Amino acid sequence: MPTWQLRLLRGRPGSSPRLETYRVELPAEAYLIDAVEKIWAEQDRSLLFRHACHHASCGACGVRVNGRERLMCITPLREFSPDGVIQVEPLRHFPWLGDLLVDVSPMMRRMAEVGFAIIRRDELTADRPLPEGIEQITRFEDCIECGLCLSACPVMAADEAYLGPATLAAIERMLAEPRGGDTARLLTLADDPHGAWRCHSAMECTAVCPSNVDPASAIGRLRRRLIVEKLRRWIGGGR
Amino acid sequence: MREVPRWKRASGWIDLRGRREGGLAFLLMRLTGIGLVIYLFLHLYVLRLLAQGPEAWDAFIAMAKSPLFLALDGLLILGILYHALNGVRVTLLGLGIGVPHQARLFWGVMALTLLMTAIAAYAIFTIAG
Amino acid sequence: MWIWQAFTGLLLLILLTLHMVFNHFVVEGGLRTYRDVVAYLSHPVVFTWEILFLVVVTAHALMGVRAILLDLGIGPGTDRWLKRGLTLVGLGIIGYGVWLSWWIRSRGA
Ligand code: HEM
Ligand code: HEM
Ligand code: SF4
Ligand code: FES
């Protein structure tokens, strides 16, 4: 079995963080999350990190791997060479709680403000008969609220007040399918210097999103909608 | 929770670690934008020579035809071309058009910029040199 | 604000291209001599065109400066002052540019 070298960012708020190297033996079919869990289980129980589902649906295990935002549970070890070092650091632009752990509540609060529903009723299967014992078919939204896009965004780096790619994508998603929701409120939320207009099209959110949300395109559609809305109000005399 | 110092946040957009084409395009856009603003101020300042009469201006033009100035001229053109062409890219992307092709568009912008700068540089040195 | 940045940017695409081409390539010997400039600006269409260019670049450039300064973590209060400050700078630049062009133009008459 190959031995992998991991360099993890360690430390707690209040002291300056340092990089520490660990070695773990694992087959090449394993994933980065397995390596980090093994370090936690066998070498250091104080290691802070987050995970739950192990299959890219809870969004808990986002980190930066060699500088790039990834989900640990779908980052295969075979991508790396046992001779090299896999450097793992916490996401940027979130309050740091220690080791690989960050506080994602600022993003979660914004998503809640939008009223983003993670689970929706599935309309594709709406007119089909339900299987025995199943009450309703639901569908997950693409966005798993992992925060990778926020960490990758250079505007987020500079502006804490920026709504951020995930939230703007959520607003656009809600507007596309409002289901009786308050679209005017969402548009006001987006139409802000720190909202849809703050984006500088660095395109990093779409590049790192593990779930094909494509926040960059969503922000573009949101802007188009805001422009049309403005023109309509302007021509229609403030209606 | 560790507070990130303000200066560090403010310089976040410069940090290219882990970034790809889009991040690089944004950084270059900003740097060329800043360069152009500085140029604009210098340019308008120099234009005051026009108000001082023919001698002052024509002396300046004679100096501006030195190879050093012409080279700087080339640099200016490089900056303008990148900023302008990427400006078109960013405007489209910002409206959600062509996002899946953004990296290819970036390399296209780069190639066009270099090509057009080379042509312009050739023209400058043959006409003015 | 972004939309104005993009809009003025696209206008500049035309205005600046013409500016560069006229100043470099059309005139014999490359850069204009004093006489060339005066003659050039004497034409009313050119004059209007150049003033339009002046206004649009100034607006685009200063909006751009604000966008960059916003990333220094400026709050809404400071931003209000920043906007006022930049507007004054912009008016100053435009005033200077118009005065200068007018003055040059008057030399040709
Ligand atoms: C020639 C045609 C031009 C086009 C098509 C253009 C286009 C653009 C666009 C679309 C942006 C927004 C970028 C973003 O959202 O990040 C921008 C930003 C900017 N432009 Fe231009 N521009 C042009 C010329 C100029 C000139 C002549 C100047 C300076 C005198 C200038 C200075 C700036 C600055 C300072 C920014 C802000 C950069 C930032 O926010 O990072 N631009 N330009
Ligand atoms: C190296 C290339 C350039 C040359 C040789 C050049 C030359 C000149 C000359 C001779 C004038 C005065 C006559 C006229 O209005 O045409 C002028 C004016 C002007 N230039 Fe340029 N220019 C160059 C590049 C630029 C660039 C890149 C910008 C924008 C950032 C710019 C902005 C302006 C403005 C705004 C005016 C009008 C000033 C006024 O109305 O008083 N120029 N330029
Ligand atoms: S948009 Fe993509 S990268 Fe951003 S939080 Fe949602 S799933 Fe993660
Ligand atoms: S552990 Fe759930 S997304 Fe990785």
pLDDT tens, residue by residue, B9-68? 656 667 777 788 899 999 999 999 999 999 999 999 998 888 887 888 888 888 888 888
Atom nearest to A146 CA in ligand 4: 3
Tally A–C CB contacts below 8 A: 21
Q: Is the pLDDT of residue B6 over 60?
A: no
Question: Whole-angstrom Cα distance, residue A172 to residue B15?
Answer: 29
Predicted pLDDT of residue B2: 43
According to CATH, the superfamily of the domain at A105-116+143-236 is Alpha-helical ferredoxin (1.10.1060.10)
Predicted pLDDT of residue B53: 78
Between the alpha carbon of residue B126 and those of residues A88, A215, B65, B67, C104, the distances in Å are 54, 48, 11, 12, 29
Query: Chains with 3 or more CB pairs closer than 8 angstroms to A?
Result: B, C
Name the residue of chain B whose CA is nearest to A95's CA.
B1
Mutation site for C-interface testing, chosen from A93, A153, A156, A159 by largest number of C Cβ within 10 Å: A159
Atom nearest to B73 CA in ligand 2: 1
Give chain C's length.
Answer: 109
| Ligand 4 site, residue A56, Cβ cutoff 6 A | yes
- State pTM to two decimals: 0.88
- In total, how many domains does chain C have? 1
**What are the strands, taking DSSP E only, across C1-109?**
none
CA torsion angle A65 A70 A72 A74 (round to 10): -130
What is the pLDDT averaged over residues C87-93?
94
Nearest-ligand number for the alpha carbon of A202: 1
CATH number for the domain formed by residue range(s) A3-102:
3.10.20.30
Question: Do the beta carbons of residue B123 and residue C25 sit within 8 Å?
Answer: yes
Token code pair at residue B22: 């889009």
Q: Boundaries of CATH 1.10.1060.10 in chain A?
A: 105-116+143-236
Q: Boundaries of CATH 3.10.20.30 in chain A?
A: 3-102
Map out the domains of chain B as residue ranges.
29-38+66-128
Residues of chain A contacting B, Cβ within 8 Å: 13-14, 64, 66-69, 92-93, 95-97, 103, 152, 154-158, 160, 199-204, 206-207, 214, 216-221, 223-224
Residue C13 C-beta-side C-alpha neighbours within 13 Å: 16
CA distance A14 to chain B (A): 7
Question: Do the beta carbons of residue B11 and residue C72 sit within 8 Å?
Answer: no
Given a cut of 50, the residues of chain A with pLDDT beneath it are 239
Question: Do the beta carbons of residue C66 and residue C83 sit within 8 Å?
Answer: yes
Nearest to B76 by CA among C6, C24, C66, C54: C24
Q: Is A100 helix (H, G, I), strand (E, B) or coil?
A: coil
pLDDT tens, residue by residue, C11-70? 898 889 888 887 776 555 556 677 778 888 888 888 888 999 999 999 999 999 998 888
Nearest-ligand number for the alpha carbon of A217: 3
Site to substitute for ligand 3 among A110, A213, A219, most atoms within 8 A of C-beta? A213
User: Does C103 contact B94 at a Cβ distance shorter than 8 Å?
Assistant: no
Which residue in the block uniquely carries the two structure tokens 């993670």?
A118
Q: Is the pLDDT of residue B129 over 60?
A: no
Between the alpha carbon of residue B56 and those of residues A44, A152, B47, B52, C98, the distances in Å are 75, 52, 10, 6, 20
CATH number assigned to the domain comprising residue C80? 1.20.1300
